Structure 1
Amino acid sequence: MRSILFVVRDPLPPIRADVRTLFGTEMPRYGVATELVGQGGSGDASPWPAGGMHVVGSLRSRFASVCAPLWDLLGLVRALRHGRPDCIQVRDKIASGVLGRIVAALLRVPFLYWMSFPIVEGFEVRRDDIGRHGRGLKWLGHALRAWASRAAIYRFVLPGARHVFVQSDAMADWLAAKGFDRSTMTAVPMGVDAQLFDRANVEPVDDPRLDNRRVVLYLGRIARSRRSDFLLDVADRLRANNPDVLLVIAGDAPSDDEMAWMRREIARRGLDGHVLLTGWLPQRTALGYAVRAEVGLSPIPRGTLFDVSSPTKLVEYLALGIPSVANDIPDQKLVIDESGAGLCVTMEPVPFADAVLQLLNDGALAAEFALRGPPYVTSHRTYDILGNNVAKTYKKILTESR
C-alpha cells in the first residue's frame, strides 16, 4: 500500500466529492492510502476510511487565515509520527505549499501540488475590488498578500513539484503558457458518484410549490463573484414568455450578507412568485428538487478565475438525465460538445433564456438530451473512471521515485 500525505484547504472531514470519493473510496482500490492534514469545520462527523486524518485548528476560527500554515505544520509533524509517506501533496494552499515542498525535500520524497482554483489570481481580483474604493491600509494588506502569494506559487511551489494535478485541460494549457512543463500535469475534471447520481436512486421532493410549474433549476452556490443575479435576469425573461416557469435555486451563499443580497434582488425585481431560493439543503434533498426540473442551468462567468474551472453542476444535471443550458467556458463547452446533451450559449440573458425556452417548448429535443446525458457521464465523468486515471499517474510517479 502506497501512502500520500495530503494537506487540504477544504474543511475536514472532507465533504467535497473530489476529495471524499476520489481519495476516500477510489484510491484505496488501487493500493493508495491517504493521510489527510488540515483544519476542521465541515460539520461532518464521518470517519476517514482511507488512512489517517490529522485535524489541527478550525476554519471557523477568525484567526484561520493566519494560523492555518502553523496548524498544517503541526498536522504534518503528527502525521509523520505514523511513518514516512511515499509523497507529500498540497491542495490549493500557498504557505503550506512552501512547507510541503521543504518537508518533502527533507524526507526525500516527491512533492506534488493539486490546483483546483487559481488562488493567486483570486487574491488579485479581491485586491482590485478593494482598490476601486481607495488604496488604504486594507488595500495594502491585500496587495501584499497577492504579491507574496504569486512569488511563492510561481517561483517556488510549482517549480519544485514533481507533478501538478489541475482542474481542467484549460488550466493545464494556462499554466503551460506561463512556462510550466505540460507533460508534468494531469487534468482531473470534476466528476460524480455514479450510484448517488443515478436517477433511479433519487426520490423526488414533495414540495407543492413546484406543482403545475415548468421547473428550471440552478444547483450550486450563490455569490456576487459568480454573478448569481444573472439567474434573475434569465428568470425575468422566462416569466415574460411563460408565466408558469419557476426557477429553483437550490443552494446557499458563502455568507449571510450574500444570501440577503440575493433575496433583495428577487424582491426588487418582483420575482417572488417565479424564483424559489431554498438555501442550504442536504444533498439528497437537493437532488430531490433536481429530478423535478425540466432544464438545468449552469452559467459560469468568463474570465481568468472561471475559464480554467471544471464546474460540477453541469455533469450532475447530465447524470440525472436533465437537459441543460450552459455557457461557453472551455470545460462546459467540451462536455456539451462531447455529450450532445444540452445547449451551449454565451452568458447573456437573451440567448440563455431563449435556449431554456427552446428546451421547454421542444419536448422531443429535451427527451433526446435527457437520454444522452447519463451514458456520457458514466463513460467519462464518474469517479471510478477518473480514479483509474489518477491512480495510474500516482503509480508512475511513485515507481519512478524509488
Structure 2
Amino acid sequence: MHIAVFSQYHTNPDCPATSRHYALLAYIARTHRVTLITTTAWAGQRLSQEFAWVPAGVELRTVDVPYRNSMGTARRALAFAHYAAGAVREGLRIDKPDVIWGISTPLTAAWAAAQVARWRRVPWVFEVQDLWPSFPIAMGAVPTAWARRRLFALEHRLYQSAAHIVPLSPDMTRYVAGTGTDIAKITTVLNGTDLDLATCATPAAVAALRREHGLEGKRVVLYAGTFGRANDIPTLIAAAELLAAQRPDVVWLFLGHGYYEPLVRAAARCPAIRLVGGQPRHAVFSWFALADVSVVSFLDLPVLDANSPAKLYDSLAVATPVVVTNQGWTKRLVEEHGCGWFVPAGQPQQLAQQLTNLLSAVNTASLLAAGERGAALARQEFDRQSLAKRMQHILENATAC
C-alpha cells in the first residue's frame, strides 16, 4: 500500500521537538510504501547528527517554506498558504497513493491533503494535533468575524470529507464529535512517547548530567518544552522566584526555546532558575529523569484543556511525576492514576506551595511512588510503537471506505 503523508513540520530525534511522526513513519514504512510531503523548516535546527533525516523506507518530497516561532501572524499565514500550495503540487506529481494522511496543524496542511485526495480519488485520514481554528482564535490570531466563520466552515468540511479522523486526546475526540461528525469514524491516538529513547536515561547518564551542571545535592523542578504564548511561562517564572525564596536547595530548570525566552533568560539571573535551552529529542529523557518533578503548563483557556502535550508522556516514561495546569483530560489522567497533581493555571503562589510540599522530606516516598505509577502507565498506554500499529490499522482500513 502507498501512503502519502502531508505534514508541514517534519522533525527527527536530532531536533528539539517531539518527533512523533518519525517513530510512526519508521514503523509503517517497514511494511508499506510511504511518501512524506513536508518542508525544510526544521532541517537546519538539528542539534546532533545521530539519526537519518527520515526513517528508512520513507520517500521525501519537500517544499521550501521558511518558518520560525518568532514569526508574526501575517508571516505565519503566508507560510501556511505557501506549504499548502506546494504540497498540492507535489501530491499531484507523486505516484497515486492508496490513502492520504493529512496532519494538522496547521489546518491548511489538512486542506492540502483533502484536495489531493479529491483529485486522486482516494480516501484520506485527518490527524488533529491541535484544535484549529479554535486554538488560534482563542489566542487572538484571527481578528475578523469573517475569517473566523470561513475557518470554522473549512474545519467542518474537512471533518466531513475525511474517511477517518484521529485526534490526539479524549477531549479532542469529544470536540470533533460535538461538531456533528459521526463518532464511528473518530479514533483517539495519543501523542505518546518513545520508550526506546527513554532507555538512554540510564542512572550513569543522569548522574553525569547532574555533575556537569552542578546539581548534586539539589532538588530539581523541570519545565521542558516550548516557551510559547500558550504555555503560561510568566506564571512559572513567578512560581520559581517564590520557590527560590522558600527552598534554596531547589533549582528550577527551563529546557526549551520560544517566545518567552528573553523573559526566562532575565529570570535566570537568580541562581535557582536556569535556562538550559533546547535539547535534541534523544537527550531530553535524561533531563526528565534528573528532575524530581516536572510541570506541564498552559493558559486557562478551555481549548487548551484538550492538548496532548509530549512533555507529559516523556516525564512519566522515566518515572518523573508531573504537575499539570490543564483542567481537562490530563488532570483526570494524573489524578486517576496517581502519577501527578493539578494546580490551576495562572496561580504562581499555589504552584510554588504545591512544589514546596511535594519536595519536602516527608513526601519523598510519595513522590517516588507517583513516578513509578506513571512509568507503568507509560509502558501500558503511551508507547509510540503500539500507537504506530494502531495508526497503521486506521490507514489500512480507510482504503476500504
Which interval holds the TM-score relative to the shorter structure? 0.7 to 0.9
Aligned residue in 2 for 1:102: 115
Aligned residue in 2 for 1:89: 101
Aligned residue in 1 for 2:359: 360
Q: Does 1:220 align with 2:225?
A: yes
Question: Cα deviation per residue 1:356-380 (whole Å; 9 max; x = unaligned)?
Answer: 2222111111121222222210111
In terms of mean alpha carbon deviation, does 389-398 or 172-181 score higher? 389-398
Aligned residue in 2 for 1:289: 287
Displacement, 1:275? 0.6
Question: Cα deviation per residue 1:222-266 (whole Å; 9 max; x = unaligned)?
Answer: 12332111111221232232122110011111x5xx3223333x1
Mapping of residues 103-182 of structure 1, within 5 Å:
103-126=116-139, 128=140, 145-154=147-156, 156-182=157-183
Displacement, 1:96? 4.4
Displacement, 1:331? 3.0
Mapping of residues 2-401 of structure 1, within 5 Å:
2-11=1-10, 16-24=18-26, 26-29=27-30, 31-43=31-43, 44=46, 46-60=53-67, 64-79=79-94, 83-92=95-104, 93-126=106-139, 128=140, 145-154=147-156, 156-198=157-199, 199-200=201-202, 203-204=205-206, 205=209, 206-253=211-258, 255=259, 258-264=260-266, 266=267, 272-347=270-345, 348-361=347-360, 362-398=363-399, 400-401=400-401
8 Å CA contact 1:195, 1:201 repeated in 2: no
Q: Which amino acid aligns with 2:220?
A: V
Pairwise CA RMSD of aligned residues?
2.5
TM-score, length-scaled by structure 2: 0.85
Structure 1 unmatched runs, 5+: 131-138
In terms of mean alpha carbon deviation, does 53-62 or 220-229 score higher? 53-62
* Identity in percent: 21
Aligned residue in 2 for 1:134: none
**Cα pair distance change 1:374/1:397, threshold 3 Å:** same
Instruction: Please give the alpha-carbon distance, in whole angstroms, between the structure 1 residues aligned to 2:204 and 2:378.
Output: 17
Displacement, 1:13? 6.3
**Cα pair distance change 1:381/1:164, threshold 3 Å:** same
Equivalent position SS for 2:58: coil
8 Å CA contact 2:25, 2:55 repeated in 1: no
Displacement, 1:164? 0.8
Displacement, 1:144? 5.3
8 Å CA contact 1:121, 1:304 repeated in 2: no
Instruction: Please give the alpha-carbon distance, in whole angstroms, between the structure 1 residues aligned to 2:111 and 2:382.
Output: 32
TM-score, length-scaled by structure 1: 0.85
Displacement, 1:129? 6.4
8 Å CA contact 1:58, 1:64 repeated in 2: yes
